[in-house]
Amino acid sequence: MTDSRFLLVGLGNPGREYHLSRHNIGFFFLDHLAGLQGLLIETQKMQGLYCHGRAHGHQLYFLKPQTYMNRSGESVRSFVDYFKIPLCNLLILHDDIDLSAGRIKLVAKGGAGGHNGVRSVAQHLGTTEFARLKIGVGRPVVDEVGQGQPVDQFVLGRMGDAEMSLFEQRKTLVAEAVAVFIQEGVDRCMNRINGR
């Protein structure tokens, strides 16, 4: 890849009440990725918290939009424009209820699939042509008559100990996926990561 600037975005909601909620899994993994480089995502700029450093031979920007999920695209668009990030070097990390908990899937483009954060990013960028690392959180359990916790309450709910343990185990795979995305591109990353 010719341009050496990459923007890694974790989606979530700001505020203590959303800390470690399923909907904030993007924040969870982005903090880990930055931590691997000895970085903390704590500088405020353009409606987000960010940091930057070098890894895998490239300049990396780590962004956590602070606008609430349904307006995430405002901050993402500002960063893309300001730092001149090619869209092929943008990766959005977010939760996905249609994937079983702990499953990791990279996609090169596509619709929002009901995810308000992804929808906002697509609206503000004017395209769905950007890579996403989907992190499965599963769906709420339903009883024998089909009743269960509403999806919005489920994704905004705090993860349990078993879920936390599962996502701790997936940190290595997510870090590998990001490294392959940066070094080898989205297609090779999909081939290497999806299905594992």
For the annotated catalytic residues, the residue numbers are 23
- C-alpha to C-alpha distance for 77 and 135, rounded to whole angstroms: 22
- C-alpha to C-alpha distance for 36 and 86, rounded to whole angstroms: 24
Is 68 a known ligand-binding residue?
yes
Is 18 a known ligand-binding residue?
yes
Q: Which amino acid is at 118?
A: V
Question: Residue 35 is encoded by which pair of tokens?
Answer: 């931590």
Find, among 14, 21, 26, the residue nearest to 178 by Cα: 26
- C-alpha to C-alpha distance for 161 and 116, rounded to whole angstroms: 26
- Three-state DSSP at 63 gives strand
Is 70 a known ligand-binding residue?
yes
Q: Which amino acid is at 19?
A: H
- Three-state DSSP at 54 gives strand
Is 191 a known ligand-binding residue?
no
What does the buried/exposed string (b/e) look like for 68-93 if buried means 16 or more CB atoms within 10 Å of the residue's CB? ebebbbbbbbbbbeebebeebbbbbb
51 phi and psi, to 5 degrees?
-155, 170
Annotated binding site: 18, 68, 70, 116
Annotated binding-site ranges for tRNA: 18, 68, 70, 116
